[in-house]
Amino acid sequence: MCRAHCSPYQGNQPPSASQSPATAMLSDALLDEQFVFFHLKTQPFDWLHFDDLSGMTLGGGLKYSYGPAFDAFLAEGKVRLERVSSDRQNFEKLLKERVVLYPQEINVGYAALRNTFTSAEAERITHHPKPLLVNRSYLMLPRQLAQSDVLRERFNARLQQFRDDGRYQQYFDALQTGHYQPVPEDAAP
């Protein structure tokens, strides 16, 4: 990955610290992205271990990894993962009971439901609280940029200030209710 090194911008958010190049420095942790299993409310679901999913058909994104542990489980062939190109297709398959589960980042999944489906359809879907995967995200700054140390210090200080005064949580609460995401004109009513 070369985003911080090659980017014309001063900072980027990498998918995870493990994918950061040696040419970048990281801020304090920005957020934990939680990937969960979405399912129909009419089909209660519980799991502790990947083997609890054996025999199920899941939806998934094209060429997408849900982490090394889950990828290894998929390679065992104990579940069937039907990959399609969009959240909409995966949630449609879930609503039509063509798949039992759909793993997705919790905020991304609920945003897709709000913006793509009627409220009646979206209300039929829930998620299991146990995360499949948690990715910690950071702001990544290029080491070769002279101001990176100062920018990182300022960013970390402001991030901590937002956490301390409650704004950080307020922003994420608003995110989860769809506050920052405009409804497209062609979205379902």
Residue 189: predicted pLDDT: 53
Identity of the residue numbered 20: S
pLDDT in tens, the chain (189 residues): 334 444 444 454 444 445 456 789 999 999 999 999 999 999 999 999 999 999 999 999 999 999 999 999 999 999 999 999 999 999 999 999 999 999 999 999 999 999 899 999 999 999 999 999 999 999 999 999 999 999 999 999 999 999 999 999 999 888 888 788 766 565 555
Contact by Cβ (8 Å): 131, 32: no
Residue 117: predicted pLDDT: 95
Name the token pair of 61: 């994104």
Residue 185: predicted pLDDT: 60
* Cα 107 off chain centre by: 6
Residue 62: predicted pLDDT: 94
Residue 180: predicted pLDDT: 80
Residue 186: predicted pLDDT: 55
Domains, the chain? 25-177 (3.40.190.10)
**What residues have CB less than 8 Å from 133, skipping those under 6 apart?**
34, 35, 66, 67, 70, 103
